[in-house]
Amino acid sequence: MKKEPNARSVERALDILNCYGKNQKYSLEPKIAQLGMLCFSNLDFRNIAEPYMVRLRDYYNESVS
């Protein structure tokens, strides 16, 4: 199965990032943490979870929080 070009680019980027974890001389941890927080800040977990929670509530006839 042929991989899409975008997926291959992401794989290459992750391979490069993995090179930084093999020693303590260089570190990307602060930048990675910053990027991770940026991703989470852009997600609205309530809107994502709500349809699943409604289905669970209806299926089990229980409250969901």
Residue 63: which region, alpha, beta or left (left: phi > 0; alpha: psi -120 to 50)?
beta
The answer on pLDDT for 23 being more than 60 is yes
Answer yes or no: is pLDDT of 26 > 80.
no
What is the identity of the amino acid at 12?
R
In sign, the C-alpha dihedral spanning 10, 13, 15, 20 is negative
The single-letter code of the amino acid at 46 is: R
What separation in angstroms does the CA of 49 have from each of 9, 41, 53, 61?
A: 30, 15, 6, 17
Reported as a single tens digit per residue, the pLDDT across 31-49 is 778 888 888 888 888 888 9
